[in-house]
Amino acid sequence: MLIFLLIAFQVKHFFADFILQTPYQYTNKGKFLHLGGILHAFIHGFFTSIIALCVNDDVIYILSLGLLDMFLHYTIDLIKTQFTQKRQYATTIMSNVVIKSNKYFVALGLDQLAHQLCYIFFVFCLIY
């Protein structure tokens, strides 16, 4: 079960962050409460709920975990995006992200680490 959940969260993250994320989402997730960032976080929360449904039948628990992922993912992305934009590590020009500093990748790495730690916490919640 542990391996299944860890793999499921990795696949979920890949699809939600890299395949399903649209320019509307990534160009606006640095704007507080913009629908683009909320939609991106909702997709993460939705798929977290689907994963949780595979191992738990408590609807309130499943929805709570999905909402928690939505909140955490939104917050992590907002902080990273505002941080990198304020320091001009990257800018968005006509829906294209232009990397202006290798420090952007440090921020991106921290962003991804924070998401992965959330998934480890979710796996813990689902197993124990």
- Number of compact structural domains in the chain: 1
Say how far apart CA 37 and CA 26 lie, in whole Å: 7
How does pLDDT run across 71-128, given as a tens digit for each residue? 999 999 999 999 999 999 988 787 788 899 999 999 999 999 999 999 999 999 999 8
Q: Which domain holds residue 53?
A: 2-127
pLDDT (0 to 100) of residue 95: 78
How does pLDDT run across 22-34, given as a tens digit for each residue? 999 999 999 999 9
The rounded percent of the chain whose pLDDT value lies above 70 is 100
pLDDT (0 to 100) of residue 93: 81
Per-residue H/E/C for the chain: CHHHHHHHHHHHHHHHHHHCCCHHHHCCCCCCCCHHHHHHHHHHHHHHHHHHHCCCCCHHHHHHHHHHHHHHHHHHHHHHHHHHHHCCCEEEECCEEEECCCHHHHHHHHHHHHHHHHHHHHHHHHHC
The pTM score is: 0.93
The rounded mean pLDDT for the chain is: 95
Question: For residue 67, which amino acid is it?
Answer: L
Whether the predicted pLDDT of 50 surpasses 90: yes
CB of 27 closer than 8 Å to CB of 37: no
Average pLDDT over residues 42-55: 98
pLDDT (0 to 100) of residue 88: 92
Task: State how far Cα 127 lies from the chain centre.
Answer: 21
Say how far apart CA 70 and CA 66 lie, in whole Å: 6
Give the least confident one: 5-14, 40-49, 64-73, 95-104.
95-104
